[in-house]
Copies of this chain bind each other. A is one copy, B any other.
Amino acid sequence: MSERIAAVILAGGQGARFWPLSRKAHPKQFLSLGESGESLIQATVSRLEPLVERERIVVITAEHLVPLVEEHVPGVQILAEPFGRNTAAAIALGAQWLSSQGFDGVMFALPADHAVKSSEKLIETLERAVAVAEADDSLVTIGIRPERPDTAFGYIQRGDSRGEKVFAVRRFFEKPNAQRAQQYLDSGDFYWNSGMFAWRPSVFLDALKEHLPEMYREFQQVQFPEKRSDVSQVVEELYDKIESISVDFGIMEHAKNVQVVEAADYGWNDVGSWDAWAEHFERDRDGNLLKGDCISLEGENNIVSSSSGRFVALVGTEDLVVIDSDDATLVCPRSRVQDVKKVVQFLEKQGRKTLI
């Protein structure tokens, strides 16, 4: 544990792709989606424990989720966003906050809702990232060796070697189509963009100044007051004035001092969909994942979860996702799990607030 390491955890997401279990009032990061019983945010904080003291963990979340964060991960610092302004703003908020506290070590920026199989290998990777970020005053991104031509992730093309499993970044790529994803996989030069970063707050804020100067200017004018309720007021005024852009698109794709640290094989999973969620579990001999009171008769490779106490029966289906909750049921082919958020959009349009 070192006073020179902090972490900014992004925990403001809605997890709409995890409807109907994830809801606005209780989104994915607070769900226990694996076997452990720990929520995703609890697991995220636990994994950092060997490296980061809890008091130097800053959780950026939505105002209405603050009580849940306090309940799940007591002892962390919490900054509430009045509304989402994408990852550049959220990370800048964490960096500025740490900077205003006089912190000049290395901060991680990472999502609250990813999963990892080996904490040890994650820690080993993060330590390497810290070393690179400290030594070179660079923006360090953590790249995952791709296992398949996945189209749900951004990719990072590596450039020259800068050390043991450290490379310059040639280019960031948005989520590719299937053909490009296969090319990336085949080339051996590409990593999955894990959305996990390491840098000094000052280095990040310098990059913000260069690539998102208007956002930087607004952040520079912020004086954080003592009381947290007053902080929220300040953040709200700030957020009203800044643009909504991702850190990848707004900064990483343009910055020159970016290096990628290749992750050790720690079994990363972004838990980005019901399909990704299902990878955490053993299947039956027909490839079905059956959680709760459910069966699949003469069917293959289905993902079924019943958490309502009700019985769910599939007959003769393949590659189908069926998620049953107390007040709603989702049915979707595995190939369409990225579109589950459209149900939430539909319900929003209909004003059906109890279901979202």
Which A residues lie at the B interface, using CB under 8 A? 19-20, 295, 297-298, 306, 310-317, 320, 322, 324, 326-333, 335-336, 339-340, 342-343, 346, 352, 355
Cα distance A331–B314 when bound, in Å?
Answer: 5
- The CA-CA distance from A311 to B335 in the complex, in Å, is 22
Complexed CA–CA distance, A311 and B328 (Å):
4
Which residue of chain B has its CB nearest to the CB of A308?
A: B310
B355→A342 contact, CB < 8 A: no
Q: Are A312 and B339 in contact (CB under 8 A)?
A: no
Q: Which residue of B lies closest to A336 (CB)?
A: B316
Closest to A345 in B: B297
| 29 CB-based A-B contacts, threshold 8 Å | A19-B313, A20-B311, A295-B343, A297-B339, A297-B343, A298-B336, A310-B327, A310-B328, A310-B329, A311-B327, A311-B355, A312-B328, A312-B329, A313-B329, A313-B330, A315-B331, A315-B333, A315-B339, A315-B340, A315-B343, A316-B332, A316-B335, A316-B336, A316-B339, A317-B331, A317-B332, A317-B336, A320-B331, A322-B331
CA distance A316 to B346 in the complex (A): 14
Say yes or no: B328 contacts A313, CB within 8 Å: yes
Copies of this chain assembled into the complex: 2
A298 contacts B329, CB within 8 Å?
no
Across-interface contacts of A329 in B (CB, < 8 A): 306, 310-313, 322, 324, 329
The residue from B295, B314, B333 contacting A317, defined by CB atoms under 8 A apart: B333
Q: Report B-chain residues with C-beta under 8 Å of the C-beta of A330.
A: 313, 315
A310: chain B residues within 8 A (beta carbon): 326-329
Closest residue of chain B to A325 (Cβ to Cβ) is B310
Nearest CB of chain B from residue A299's CB, rounded to whole Å: 9
A295 to B352, CA, bound (A): 13
Tell whether, in the assembled complex, residue B312 and residue A331 are in contact, meaning their CB atoms are under 8 Å apart: yes
CB-defined contacts of A343 to chain B, threshold 8 Å: 295, 297, 313, 315
Chain B, Cβ-Cβ closest to A295: B346
Q: List residues of chain B with CB within 8 A of the CB of A320.
A: 317, 320, 331
A46 → chain B closest CB, angstroms: 33
Query: Given the complex of chains A and B, what is the CA–CA distance between A316 and B320 in angstroms?
Result: 11
**A313 CA / B322 CA spacing, docked (Å):** 10
